[in-house]
Every structure is written in structure tokens, then in C-alpha cells.
Structure 1
Amino acid sequence: IGYLVRRLDENTGPSNFLRYAFHLKPGSANWVMLRQKFIESFELMEHLPDSSRRTQNRTTEAFQSTLDNWRWDQLVNEPDTDFSLPDNARWAQEIIASGLQAEPRVVTPIIAGEEDTQATHLFNSTDPSQPNQYVGTWTAAEESAIDVALKCAADDETSWRKTTAKERSAILHDVANEIRRSRRDLIEIALAEGGKIIPEADAEVSEAVDFVEFYRKSVVHIEEMQDLSARPRGMALVISPWNFPIAIPCGGVAAALAAGNTVILKPSSETVLTARRLCECFWEAGVPKKVLQFVPCRGAAGGVQLTASDKVDSIIFTGSTAAARLIQQQTPRACLLAETGGKNTTIVTTMSDREQAVKHVLHSAFGHSGQKCSATSLLILEKGVYQDEAFLELLRDAASSLTVGSAWRLETRIGPLINPPSGDLHKAIVNLESDESWLLEPRIDKNNRCLVSPGIKMGVTANSFTHQTEFFGPVLGVMLAESLEHAVTLANETGYGLTAGIETLDDREQEYWKANIFAGNLYVNRPTTGAIVLRQPFGGFGASSIGAGIKAGGPNYVTQLMKFRTSLIDVAADLKNMHNQELAEFGTTLLEARRSDIKATAKQIIIQALTSYDEYAYREYNRVHDHFHLIGQDNIRRYLPVEDLVIRVTQQDEAYEIVLRMAAAHAVGARVMLSHATAVHEELLQVLIGFTQHWKKPATQIVETDGELLERVARGEVSRVRYARPSAVKDGTRTALEAHNVVVMDAPVLVNGRIELLWNVREQSVSDDYHRYGNLGKRATEIRVEPL
């Protein structure tokens, strides 16, 4: 019906005959206009092209160095393969044929620039589609080799950290082209070792290219800022998962290298061969093997040796929340950037297009057999939909029709699990709780236990095992909600906050949901998986993130892998011309107070900082961004102020450091809560708080010990604590804060607002398919860009 309505709408447009047919008279103005259009169109027939506009051909494409004079916000995403084209379809068949005949690969660690031929612990990589079939062997780095790798990365013998951002960018541009050239090989290995069907692996290669191209440009942009001096943190450890064996390790490695760090890649033991092939793309393009080392490990010991080393400055981890918390306990000093799990929801209201909802939910829940951290795991149906037997039958029938099988078969839509079901996933497959029933019962293939058909559970209740547990497999729980408000409450009760989707055609419901759902990536009337670099920067809230939570594939990600200093610049700054008048009056009042604890140099710092904060709040943080303006789809990148932020004031803090942290929080709309022990800067704080009484949200203070602060943390009243320096955080306090997943922000307070304001916000991505089967409605006249 939707398609027919669209065709009717098009054919009744101003330039089409049907619009005039019922009242058309020979000789009238409309008659003359239509007659002329017919003649013109007839004359143009000779020039009408008869070849396809789609010219992509993976068998013949060449990758030349292209113009490199674009900015990070002008990124053009790498197109996925169009398998509807005959040449590309044959290319896919060739991948299958080649992979089935391929000789097993042999992979060894690369330690300090050399093959580690001394490693003796040999492991097999198996094919999940054919569990008895080995696709290769690999050796694990031993304890002594890991020590050598750590020393090599720390010493930086090649002086990678001293290279400029532009020098590194040029090398990474070549890396991106090498990945483009290696698309076929990477797909074949990911299929064989990771069980990824070709379209899933193909999209990963595109994402990997995007990561490399985008991060190199992001760092160049940062290093061009006048008042900012950037340097790499030092050595980065990238710990990558098996479910995205190409894109995720590539993203971590590319970001760390672009920022100037030396890197050790420790891949998942399930997909070592794929990670090694990815590293070869970096090495062949010019990244030294001493700069990017490949250190596969088996078992906990090797991983702990890496994460517990005091030589590691940053850890980029993607995996389970439990594993991330364990790493956080092990690492003594490294900055942990962890993208973790999710119990993701899609809400379907009575105002939805129900056929479209089924299509999107199945894609979100069962793509890659549900082995995505972004996969929909809970389907929350408003009562009218939950009781709609036709909807449930459509959902059941569509899910049961998905082809489950070997990744080597092109018709397969649900490939194998990486391993046979175990733990929580096995429990979810074989057990029902008291109120649950199967709408569609999953089946484990007797000949290959990695093959599991989709399962859909009805009757999931609040706080049940299915409601609260991440399964990481093809099991979808269905919950009943009395209203949209109830549905949002159920969705927010999981403790996670990675992705969330809603299916509704009601703008009011969409706005309510966007304002109240707790998740980092929001999707309206579209699937919840498949985030694209810069288009939908990726990362979550709550238990779905450990660390600052800055989004991968966004313009801020590389900042976590750098250290910054700001300097005073000889530029006249005027508080009178600021956009935020409350902030301007705060600064003016403070500077006119002539306090002895605000020194002349500090006054200059405050003036430059407040003007910088105000400018970046206006240009970046207090507005929404859509860098693509695609036809039919909004992709909004926005910032949310952190309302439960605490500014912890200690005796060693300078007066200007207190002022700047207050100003940064206020500039982005965050609540200013000052926390300090008795007799710590009490007089100054009273004065500063007095200067904020004209704000809509005046600053407040709490006099409390570290222990009392931790009690508030335990009650869930605090999510971030901003200190002025690392030494201000006692070891025991830091450990206790991190145990409650509170973000400890202790980087030096910066004058530059582009970096300093980051600590006071959460990033959120909102992707909204606003078209209806191609019909753009009232937005048809907008100037938009066609997607690739």
C-alpha cells in the first residue's frame, strides 16, 4: 500500500499528466504546457542513456591517491558493495569458491618488528560454519615476548611520537587505500574464521576505511588549534573482539596511530587470522612493525600481563561489561576506553507502521545471529500492538523464514554463532520463565551446534532474567507496555544504555522518546544496528561504557589518546561580546572584585578561557550537527549536559582552576555542584557561588569528606567527578569511584573550550528515517544529498 501511495503521489505531481487529467481541455494553458513537455521528452529520447547509473565493479576498480585537501567534517563514507550488480555478484561467488579451496594460514606474533619464531604455543582457528574444518593456525606470544613488545612500544625506537599529525595522516591515507585493495581477502578470512556472511563482512571493510580516513583528519584538525599543544599519551593497547574482527580493531589502531601513539594489538583468540591480515595493510602502507605490534595471546595470563603493565598508557577495549571492569581493576595507570555491552530495546507503539516495524526489528535482532552489541534484544510493544494477532503472526512468520546456515552459502541470512551456545545464551534458548512462552522456538542444529534459528519469547516481565541479561545471540524477548511512558521506563531499567529504537509515525511520541530514553545511539523508524562513521558516532551510557564515553567514529574520539596543554595567546578577548550573558556577567563580576587570590596571570587565563568556552559552546556543544543531510534521513550528533556532575575542590587547586571548571559546566548547561572538605577554599567558594545567583541554575556546594562523597556515589547520585589534576585523587577514592562506574576526570584544566567542555557532556547520536517508502512529505523541498 505504501508503495502504491508513493506512486500515486508522484504521478499526480505538478509535472505529471494525472494532476490535470480530470479537468483538461484542448487549447487550455495546461493543454499547451503538457503538449510541449511531451514533444520535448520525445526529442530527448535519442539522448536517453541505456546503461546503468550504478557502475561499481569490485573486479576492476583501482585505488589511486586522491586529493587530500578535505576536512574531517567533509568525510564521504566508503560505499558498501552493491551485490545487485552482476559483476559484484560474481565477485562474491569467487570469494566463496576461493575460500573453500584456500590453504590453511599460519600466523605468528610480530614482536619488536620481527616475526616471533620462538613461540611454541600453537592453536587452531576453526570455521564456525564447519566446526571440524581448520582454516589456519596461530602461535600465542609467550611471557618473555610480551615483555619485549611492551618495552619496544614504550621506547618508541622509530620516534613515531615525534612525527607531525600531517606526516602520520599521509601514511594512514595509504593505509586506507591498502584496506580498499584488500577488501576481498579480508572478507574471505572473516567469513572463514568469524562466520560472517559476505554482506556483513563487506560493511566492516567499508567501516574500517572510514575509521582510518576520519581519524587521521580529526587529529590534523586538533593540532591546528592555536591555543592548544597536543602530544600522544604514549603506548596504546588495543584489545579487539571477534564479532567485528575487521572494523573494531582497525578503528582502535587507526585512532591511536593517528594521535601519535605506538600500538600493541591483542586480537580476540577467535579471529587472530583476520586481525593479522588487517595489520598487514598497515605495515604494507608504511606503518613500522615496531610502531604497530601484533601480540595474540591465549588465556588470561597473557592478557593480564599486558593490561597490568605500567608501560601501557591507554587501553582501547571492546567487549563485555564484566571483562571491562576486570581490566579496570588490573590496570594501574592507563586510560581505559571501553565500549561494552547492551540490552537494547525497540519500542513499537500503536501509531507505528507495523509491517515496517517487523522488517526493522528482524534486521536489528538477528543480523549476524544477534552477535552485535547494538542488536535489539528486547521488543517492547504497546498494548494495542502486543494484542494484535496479525502483527505477531507476521513477526513469527518473517523470523521463521530467515535462512539459517553456513556463511559459505550466499542465500544465508543468519550465519553461525562463533561457538555453540553456552552460559546465559544457552539458558535463554532452552528455558522459559514462569510467564514466558515461545512465539517462535529456537532450534540448535544437531550437525552444527553453532547454527541456531531465531527465537522469540513472549511474556517477558520486568526485572526478569530475559529483561536484564544480555544474550548475544538470536533470542528476542517481547514485553507488554501499557503506554509509551511505561515502555520507556522498562527500557531504561536494564542499566545499559547503548542503542535504542522506536517505531512510530507520531512526531509527539518520537520527541518524548528522544527526550527520555537512556541510550547513546537512538534510531527512529529504522534498524538499531549498522552505525556509520561520523554519520552515527557510536557509544553508550551507563553499563554500556566505561571511561569518558566519548563516541567511536566521532570527532572527539582521538582526544582521549592525547594529552594537552594550553597556552595564552595574544588575542584581545572581550567578555562583553559573549553569547552566554550569564557566563559573561560571572566573569566580569569576578574580575572586577579585585580579589587577592585571583592573580594578574590568572585573570588573563580566565578571560581567554571564558571566551573560548563560550565560543565552542555556541559553535559545537549547544547545537545539533548533521554533517550529511541525506535525503530521507536525519543523522543528528548532539551533546547532553551531565546533570549529576560533581566538581571536586581540593586544597591544592588554584583559584582559576575552580573558576574554569565552574564556567565550563555552566557553558554547556550542566549543573554546577561544588564538593569539598571542611576548610577547603571556603571563603572563595562562597564568593564564587554568590556570583552565580543570577543564573537560571545557580551553583551549589556540598561540604563532604571523600567518604561522604562515596556514599552519594553508592546511592547513584553522581556519575562524574571533575578534579583539577591526577594527584588530587587519592588511590582508594579513585578505586571506589571506578567500582561504581563513575567517570573520574582528572586531566589538567584547559583554557581551550573545544577540549575542556567535553568533560561536562554526554554525546548522543539520533538517526531518523523521516521518509515513508521514499515519500518525503512536507520536507520534499529541502536541499539534501543523495546517499552513496
Structure 2
Amino acid sequence: MSPSQPVIRHASTSHPGADGEARTAEQAIQLAEHLLKRALGQQSAGEKREAERLGRLMNDPQGRAFTFAMVDEVFRSHDASASAKRWRRLVALHGLPQYLPLADRALMGIGAAGSLILPNVVMKAVAARLRADSARVILPGEREPLHRYLASRKEAGFRVNLNHLGEAVLGEEEARRRFEAVLAHLADPAVEYISVKISAIFSQIHLIAWDETLHAIQDRLRPLYRAAQKDGKFVNLDMEEYRDLALTLAAFRGLLDEPEFQQLRAGIALQAYLPDSFSAMQELTQWARRRVAAGGAPVKIRLVKGANLAMEKVEAEMHGWHPAPYATKAETDANFRRLLDHGCRPENAMAVRLGVASHNLFDVALALTLREQNGVRDHVEIEMLEGMANHQARAVRDAAGAMLLYAPAVRSHDFLSAMAYLVRRLDENTAPENFLRDMFAMRPGSPEWENQKRRFIQGWRDRHIVSADSRRSRPLELPASGFHNAPDTDFTQPSARAALQEAIHTWQPVPLPALPDLETTLRTACSAQNDWELLGVAGRAAIIHRAADIMEQQRFAALACLRADGKKAAGDADGEVSEAIDFARYYARTAGAPAGLAAEAMGVIAVVSPWNFPYAIPAGGVLAALMAGNSVILKPARATGQTAWLLINQLWQAGVPREVLHFFPCDGQAGRKMLTDERVAACILTGGYETARKFQSWRPSLPLYAETSGKNALVITAQADRELAIKDLVRSAFGHSGQKCSAASLAILEAEVYDDPNFRRQLRDAAASLHAGPASDPRSIVTPLVNPPGKDLHRALTTLDAGEEWLLEPKQLSDDPCLWSPGIKLGVKPGSWFHLTECFGPVLGVMRADSLAQATEWQNATDFGLTAGIHSLDPDEISWWRDRVRAGNLYINRPITGAIVRRQPFGGWKKSCIGPGAKAGGPNYVMSFCRLREANGATPDYAQAWQNHFAKDHDPSALACESNIFRYRPCRGVILRLDTPDEHFIKLARLASETTGAPLALSIRSEESDTAFIARLPALAKQAEFLRTLSAPGDEVLHAAFEASLNWINAPILCNGRVELARWLREQSVSQTLHRYGQITAQNGAPRS
């Protein structure tokens, strides 16, 4: 079945015979034609001009792109010069919109030129014009103009459903402000009807904490319902995100079942683009009929098509889910007509009043026809959007006898926050197949009319067969071949929440085995390694794929273990389990030597894992080493031994021999003894930088592959979407209590943003609203630290340095020394202790930069280079920044945490990485744990490898909503230290240096003693980051190299360019959000035409 065809099944809906259906459709078509003729006949001159303009907009892709960007981007900065510059760039990029009248285009051209000289005057005029043009669809929220509007609409025979817009609800302070605004509207005699989303009055919706979230929502709604009941007002619960569907339904029914609300008339919206809506309507209707039969008041269902389609697609793509809405517009239309048909039946309409919200004249006419046929005229009303085709609204009002207009309102100081609504309305107007797209040029008998009539007839017929099965309840169908990331758990599904609760209920810690004898462990691992390697890549891959399947099957057991053992919130833990599964499947597919090379395992590899990601990180190291043919000794963090033991048992269960994979939960001297034993061929470490240096001091010649610390910063410029930036910043800083190595420890704000009191207020509100509590509390986002704060973190949590102040002071909660509320300190100075020190906890420092250049300089000033982010809607700023920031993982307009295997291979630069530098979850990682040999007589293919691989940007995930570029950047330089002047290797080294642009420094031991070389190393290291040898040098040389912060690679220089050139470059992942409110944009930031 092709993706464009509706997914159908027989539904249980009863329906009249074919003749009766055809007559109903014909009557509706005749009425729709009458409505259209009547509307056109009373269309004012201004409305005609507006319709013609919108009609031209449909055929002007560059004009549409300009308009989207104009609405969304130009006024992000409060500085008129910056806004004018962004406006001129849009004009240069897209040209003057051709859909505008000539006079408007002329004014725009003059204004663009004049904005260079008088930016304040011009941009004030542009802002006023934007507000005036949008006034048709977004009303002024101030009392006097709103009252004038309501009075004029009442006089014209329209009722109004008011929806109060405002800034993004990032925290409970704003949620309470929105709640008070709704209460004020209910107390206003001029307002009779309001709509409100649950997410507008409660900011902390967590599906895992279902009961707690539901109770909190009902607590917020209860006073609104009381006020409505007292003053005879109507409250309608709006729908937007699929996430909120079941919660909204449960809150609505639960509250109206309470005795005090038995006589309350209230409503709820259902979105026809969700297959789930039909069963929801059936259940609501049956419940309402029982309610009315028991003496209660009827309720209302407001039928809408749905206005969050684009964002639903984005969320589904990011998590590996089916998009919740139907795949086609035809299915949505058919479901809308099924819902309408069901609601217009007399036995249902007596208990459920129907609001039919549509601008599709065929659907409007169908509603009017059905209500007359079924004798339910007083129980079905028509609703339309304010400002969209008002002439049609008047015609429908006259035919229907009444009309309810859905009218968003916003106060002037919150107008920019209403941009999302404007963008959605523009998107809706211009979407293919949408009635509104055809409406502006539609005449009876026109091609547009015939197209929409055909679609109406088909949708009316298909209402019996369109699927009513939830799309999110079934797994995404993926091709059998190739790698695909594991889908995260969809906690909208009751089965997922139940499975988690069952796992939590049954989880118990198990006794961990005693520390085994080291000698026995090493001897066994060494003797078993050869057979494991001889199993071959395919044989090992089959076992590792089985391990991935077992991890998936035992996902909820792992979540319960991580919750208890790692103090992780279930949402964070779920992503970690997905990552471990991805490591297994990805490494099983990417192992094996490139053509022309033979791979040999290193031997026994020690994996030393941390406590902050006690499942995924050890899984990544262990699985990569195993796939390369090595035996592995896992030394887990003692604080999270239960999680590591679960992982080990899963791998044994999959078929990894116990003789090959060993559990060695040691500390201190036992660990040192293991790592200094020559039978350990390499060590994979994830931990602090000081730990890595300690390991190097124990045994300098031990190949160490270490991901270490990070002092990560998110830059926010004046051109950012500030509300989105706050959302991503808070998530990056305080997820898992700031204990992610990628966590945002610093926010470097451009001065305009730093000085913005609204930004500070919203940032504080968002962080202060995060629930801090034990991991056993499902509401908790900020869970206890795994260990009590160490010296640096304790200082960060309790001490202010010169010039610093608390925006939000952290507090130790209860008597648990590990549980702290989030902290935000302002005034962090460049070069200060907090600027340069990794703290690893729930505390964020905020810096004020004069410019993006200064912010980037401070971002690069730390010794670390793990993750770095920027929030800006200016493509020029983004391009400039991404070419200059020095970190392994870059994030643009999104959080800086949550790297995903293959999508964003993970690993840092500078002191954040020790060793060759291949990224975990990337294409070169497994190959790092092999010794590669090539046949004598091989010739270098560096130019070909450069052109085919290293000079290209790679995005194998190919998401629509996010680019994830894996690329190679030149390293600062390579120091090649040879024992003798081997011309073959020197020639290859010079060719590699020339090909990659990495400077080469050469030292020959027979010509320069170790002593002389060591003396020269600090100077050489200023222009280099790798020490390359072909055989292990003495410990003294390695000690000096490590002191100079050089990474050591000990391997022959190969002719195979695909392998060799990777050792002269740095890997970098660049992840950039490519959508605005779900609308996909081009790489340069402009909406795709």
C-alpha cells in the first residue's frame, strides 16, 4: 500500500443506505454552493483585496518564505539596527514578495534602504504594520480594545470563544499568570466563552507521573469551573499536543463527575486528524448520556481538524514513533465526517452538544444538513476562526442562525510570543489539499471548487472505513536492512506506563559477586580471546544483535534498576537504555577492517565506566571492544554496580562467553594492579580528566581511550528565540541534576539578552519549577546526586565569587546531602573559577558578553571541548560560530545533551578527550580497538579518501527536522617521532599532512636524543595535539608528552587513506534544528519553499 493511500478498516459505525448517503451529500453540496455564492455576493472591497492577496500568496513560494521568516525572525532582537539588518537580509535573500500590491512592494523597498539610516523609524513602522495585518486573526488583549471588539461582534450576531495567548509557559509562575488571566476573563461580564489548554495553566506535565499530573491539572481547573458555574460562563478545554489527549479527557470527565459540577455545562475539543478521536468521542458520548440520564447537564464536544500536525511529525521522527495524526489529509477529512455523523445522531446530540469548527464550506453544509435531517438543530453549532474569510462567516451565520468565532487575544507586550500562532495560521492557509488554500480563488464550478467537491464526496464515503486505531500504539515499520535507532518508550501509551510500574514493583537488588582473583581473571581472558576473535565479525555480530534484542525485551527492568541504583528519573533512564541498544546494533554493523587491510584484536581491554551513565557508557565500551575481537574486563563504578551487573548478565545471556567478558568491581589498588599489568592491552575510560592523568602516570605505555570532563556552554544571542532557548538551556543544565558530562554549566548571553528582565524572570521560573525529589517520585526531574557534592561542586552550590549573585539560589532539600534544588548564578566573570571549573551538578553560571565574538571566545577559553551550543535564528551568526567554536559536539537551536548513536557520535576535543579521538557511536570507533595491517607494496590513496570521505559532510540519519552532520576538522598538528629516518613513513606522513592540512613536526631519535626531544616538546606541543610513533617510546617521553597535553597514537603509518587520514583530523558532530514550529526550514535558516 502506498503512503498516500488511507489506512482503512471496517468500523463499527452504523450508517444509512447508499441512496440516503448520496442524497445527504448532494444536499450538502447544494447548500455549500449556496453559501459560497451568498458569501461572494456580500464580500466587501477590502475583503476582496485580501482574498486576492492571499490567492497570490499561494503561488509565490519566495513570498511565502519571506513572510514566514518576517513573522518569526525579524523582531527577535529589541535593537532596531539589528532588526533592520535581519530584515534587509531577508529582502536580499527572497526578493520583495510578489504577492504584495505594487505600492506595498515599493514601500518595502524604500523602507529596506531607509533602514540603514533610520532603523528606529523604519522598524517601528514595520512592527506597526505587522501588528495591524495580524489584528484580523489575533485580537488585542487589553481590556478596552477587547471590549470594543466583543461588543461589535455581539452587535453583528456573533458569539466569541476567547483564547488568551501569552508568552511560553515555561514554569509555574507563568502558568499561574495565565490561570489568573483566564479567571479574570471569566469574571468579565463582556466575556461569555473561553478556551484553555491544560498546558497553559500547568507547566509540569509528566506522563510517567500520570496520577500526580492529573490531580494537579484538576486542581487548576476546579476554580475555573467554579467561576464559570457561578457566572454562567462556558469553559472549553482545547487540545494541541497528542501528549495531552488522554490527560485532558481524564481531567474533564473526572471533574464533571464531581457532585458540584453535575450541572456545569462545559466542553472539550477533539482533533479529527487523530484516529484516537473516534473512540474518545464514543466514550465521551456514552459517559455524557449516563450523566444526563442521572440528571446532569449535557456537555459539548468541539470538533476540529487539528493544528499541531507539523510538530507531531517532528516529535515522532525524533523519537522513532509513528506520527499520531493520520498519514493523509483524506483520512483526516473522512474521520471528521465520521465524528460529525456520530455527533449529529439524536440519541447522542441530546447529551453532547456539537461544535463544528471548520472553514470548509462542504463540512459546514454537511453539519447544517445533518442537524436538520436528525432534528437536532439546537444541539449543533458552527464555529470559525476570527479573521479568516469573514464574508463566509457572515453567510454561514445567516444560514445557521448563529456563529461562534474562535478568537485568540494577546496583550501588546506579549505579541512576539504569539508568533507561533501566526506561523501555524500561515502554514494552514498554504498547506496543500487544505480547503483554505483553494478558498481564496474558489467560485462555483471553478477547478478549485470541483477539487474540493470531489474530496468531500470521497471523505463522506470513506468515513465508514477509515481506521480508528491509534497510530502511536503500533511500532514503526522499518526496513529489515540497515541500522535504525531504537525507539524511545512512548509513555502516552497506558501499556508502557503499566509495564514501568510493574518493573518498579518487582525490582529488587541482587547480591553482587565478590571481587574475583585478578590473576585468574587475566589468565582466563587472555586464553579465551583468540577463540572469540576466530569467531569472526559475523559470528560476533550475531551474538551482539541478540544482546540488543535482550536489552529491548528487558527495557523496563533496566529502567527500574537505573531508577533505584543510579537515582535516575525514568525519562532520562529510558534514553540511556535506547543508547545501549543502539551501541549494540550499530557496532555489530560497523565492525570489520576496510578493504585491503587485515584487522587483529588488541587482546584484553579494560573498560572503566562511570556512575552517571552506568548502563549505556559501559555498554558502549564493552560492545565496541568485543566486536573488535577483544576480551573485556569491566570495572564499573562501585556506586552503580547493580546496573553494571544487569548489563553483564544480559550480554552473557546473549551468548558472550563468560571467559571473554569479566565483571571486576574493584577500587584503588586492585584497579591499579589490573591496569599496570602488561596483559591489559588498552583501557577505555569515561571519567574525570584527573582520573585519566592518574592512569597515565601508573603506566604511560598503556593505550588509553578516555572521554573525560567538559565545561560546556550555550551561547544565546539577541537573534535567538528566547523562550525556546530557555527551555533548551534548563533541560541541558538540570537534566539528571547536571550530572551529564555534556550538561550546560554555562550560559553565555549577548548583552541584550542578559539585560532583558523578562528573560531572567522566565529562566528563573523554568528552573525553579522543576520538581526536585527522590527518583522514586515520578514527578522528579532533578533527582539526588549519585554521591554527595565533592569539593568543587559544594563550592559552586554554596559560594559566590566577586561580582556574582544568585538568580536562583540552590538549597539542600530535607536531610539528604545528595538532593539539591537547581541554582543559577549571574555575573560569572571571564577567567573566574566558575568559568573554568567543571562542577558536575545542578548549578548554572550566566555570563554577559558584548558580542557573539566575545561569547565564542569565552566558550573556547576553557581547557575542555566536549559540547557547545548556540541559540540564534540568524544564519550568518550560526555559520560564523560553527566555523570557530572548538568542541567535539556542536548543537544549534536545541539542547546540548542527549547525543544519539550514529546521529550524533559523541566525544570531545582538547582535555575532554585523551587518545586517538574516534567518537563513541561513530563510524571509526570499533576500528580503534584493532591493530590494522596492510600488504607490502600498497600505494597511498589519500587524495581519493579525502575526496570520497573526509572532505564531505555526512548525515546518515537524514532526518527532515534536524541535520546531524558528522565531519572532519584539521587537528592543530602532529609530531612524528621515529627511531630512524625511514623515508617510506616520512614520505607518507608528509603526504598525509599536505592532504589534511595538519602541520607536521618531525623528530628522529637517532638524530635527537630523548632528553633533547623532551626539552623541545613543550614548544612543539603549542602547534600540535598528537604525538605519533611507530613503536612505544620510553616512559619519560610519554610522561613529557602527557604533561604537554598531547594525545599519543602508536601505529604504523598506513597507505590506506580511509584509516590513516582519520589520525590527522578531529571528528566533529554538528546537530542543528531545521524546523520552526514544525515547519521544515532550509539549512540557511529560511523556510523551505
Same fold per TM (> 0.5)?
yes
CA distance 1:30–1:499, shift in 2 (3 Å): same
Query: 1:635 aligns to what?
Result: 964
Match of 2:1045? Answer: 741
Output one character per residue of 1:526-557: Cα deviation in whole Å (capped at 9) or x when no partner: 00111000000000001101111110000101
Instruction: Work out which of the residue numbers 462, 480, 490 in structure 2 matches 1:82.
Output: 490
More displaced 10-residue stretch of structure 1: 156-165 or 447-456: 156-165
The one-letter amino acid of 1:97's match is: H
1:665 aligns with 2:972: no
1:171 and 2:543 equivalent?
yes
* Structure 1 residue 181, shift from structure 2 partner: 1.7
Cα distance in 1 for partners of 2:841, 2:491 equals 26
Match of 1:11 among 419, 428, 432: 428
Q: Distance in 2 between matches of 1:778 and 1:20?
A: 26
Task: Say if 1:6 and 1:304 are closer, same or farther in 2 by CA, change over 3 A.
Answer: same
Q: SS of 1:427's equivalent?
A: helix
Match of residue 584 from structure 2: 212
In the TM superposition, 1:327-342 aligns within 5 A as: 327-342=695-710
| 2:1028 corresponds to 1:722 | yes
TM-score (norm 1): 0.81
Match of 2:924 among 522, 547, 556: 556
Deviations 1:274-330 (A, max 9, x none): 1011100111111111100101013x1111111111111010000000001101111
Q: Is the 8 A contact 1:236 1:315 kept in 2?
A: yes
**Matched residue, 1:425:** 793
For 1:157 and 1:753, the matched residues in 2 are separated by: 29
Give the aligned residue type for 2:628.
Answer: A
Amino acid at match of 1:535: R
Which residue of structure 2 lines up, in the alignment, with residue 281 of structure 1?
Answer: 650
Amino acid at match of 1:240: S
CA contact (8 A) 1:6 1:774 kept: no
Aligned to 2:122: none
SS in 2 for 1:95: helix
Displacement of 1:779 after TM fit?
7.3
Alpha-carbon distance in structure 2 between the residues aligned to 1:365 and 1:415: 13
Is structure 2 residue 105 aligned with structure 1 residue 105?
no
Report the equivalent of 1:515.
Answer: 883
Q: For the structure 1 residues 56 and 341, does the alpha-carbon distance in structure 2 shift closer, same or farther, using more than 3 Å as the test?
A: farther
Residue equivalent to 2:836: 468
Q: CA deviation at 1:778?
A: 5.0
| Residue pairs, 1:105-504, within 5 angstroms | 105-108=510-513, 139-141=514-516, 145-156=517-528, 159-220=531-592, 222=593, 225-298=594-667, 300-504=668-872
- Letter of the aligned partner of 2:486 in structure 1? E
> Is the Cα–Cα contact under 8 Å of residues 830 and 858 in structure 2 kept in the other structure?
yes
In the alignment, the residues of structure 2 paired with residue 149 and residue 626 of structure 1 have an alpha-carbon distance, to the nearest angstrom, of 41
Provide closer, same or farther for how the CA distance between residues 185 and 4 of structure 1 changes in structure 2, counting only shifts above 3 A: same
* Structure 1 Cα separation of the partners of residues 904 and 1083 of structure 2: 21
Q: CA distance change for structure 1 residues 67 and 54 in 2, over 3 Å: closer, same or farther?
A: closer
Alignment correspondent of 1:572: none
Give deviations 1:429-488, integer Å, cap 9, x for gaps: 111011100000001013322211000000000111110111110000000000000000
The answer as to whether partners of 1:641 and 1:762 remain within 8 angstroms in 2 is: yes
> What secondary structure sits across from 1:47 in the alignment?
coil
Query: Does the 8 A contact of 1:319 with 1:340 survive in 2?
Result: yes
Aligned to 1:554, the other structure's residue is in SS state: coil
Partner of 1:95: 503
Matched, 1:711 2:1018: yes
Give the superposition deviation at 1:3: 3.5
Per-residue CA deviation, residues 114-160 of structure 1 (Å, 9 max, x unaligned), is xxxxxxxxxxxxxxxxxxxxxxxxx344xxx1122122222337721
Work out whether residues 874 and 1085 of structure 2, in 8 Å CA contact, stay in contact via their aligned partners in 1. Answer: no
What is the aligned partner in structure 2 of residue 766 from structure 1?
1070
**Contact between 1:56 and 1:82, CA under 8 Å: does it hold in 2?**
no
Given the two structures, how large is their TM-score scaled by the length of structure 2? 0.59
Structure (1 or 2) with the greater helix fraction: 2
The Cα offsets for residues 188-236 of structure 1, whole Å up to 9 and x where unpaired, read as 111111101111111111111111111121113x2xx331010100100
**Structure 2 residue matching 1:54: 3-state secondary structure:** helix
**Aligned sequence identity (%):** 40
For residues 651 and 269 of structure 1, the distance between their equivalents in structure 2, rounded to whole angstroms, comes to 43
**Structure 1: gaps of 5 or more residues:** 109-138, 569-603, 681-702
1:780 offset after TM fit, Å? 13
Q: Secondary structure at the match of 1:345?
A: strand
SS of the residue 2:883 aligns to: helix
The structure with the larger Rg is 2
For the 8 Å contact 2:1074–2:1082, the answer to whether it is kept is: no
Query: d(CA) in 2 for partners of 1:373 and 1:269?
Result: 18
Amino acid across the alignment from 1:629:
A
Shift of 1:350: 0.1
Distance 1:473 1:56, change over 3 A: farther
- Output the CA distance in 1 between the equivalents of 2:474 and 2:707: 34
Question: Residue type of the partner of 1:50?
Answer: A
Q: Amino acid of the residue matched to residue 427 of structure 2? A: E
CA contact 2:980–2:1005 (8 Å) conserved in 1 = no
Aligned counterpart for 2:909 among listed residues 541, 548, 551 = 541
Q: What amino acid sits opposite 2:1063 in the alignment?
A: W
Shift of 1:496: 0.4
Aligned partners of 1:75 and 1:214 also within 8 Å: yes
Unaligned runs of 5+ in 2: 1-417
Moved more, 498-507 or 617-626: 617-626
User: In structure 1, how many angstroms separate the alpha carbons of the residues matched to 2:420 and 2:1018?
Assistant: 58
Deviations 1:488-523 (A, max 9, x none): 001111110000110000001111110111100000
Q: CA deviation at 1:768?
A: 0.4
C-alpha contact (below 8 Å) 2:1014/2:1040 kept by paired residues: no
Does structure 1 residue 623 correspond to structure 2 residue 952? yes
How far, CA to CA, are the matches of 1:22 and 1:202 in structure 2? 48
For 1:707 and 1:640, locate their aligned partners in 2 and report how far apart those are by CA, in whole Å. 28
Distance 2:1050 2:717 in 1: 43
Judging changes above 3 Å, is the alpha-carbon distance between structure 1 residues 157 and 365 closer, same or farther for their aligned structure 2 residues? closer
CA gap 1:533/1:40 in 2 versus in 1, 3 angstroms? same
Separation in 2, partners of 1:21, 1:181: 51
Cα pair 2:975 2:1026 within 8 Å, conserved: yes
- Paired residues, what number? 669
In 2, Cα distance between equivalents of 1:297 and 1:377: 31
CA RMSD in angstroms, aligned pairs only = 2.4
Instruction: Name the structure 1 match of 2:442.
Output: 24
| SS of structure 2 residue aligned to 1:271 | helix
**Aligned-partner SS, 1:256:** helix
CA–CA separation in structure 2 for the residues paired with 1:227 and 1:181: 39
From 635, 644, 654, the equivalent of 2:982 is 654
State the Cα distance separating 1:663 from its structure 2 match.
1.4
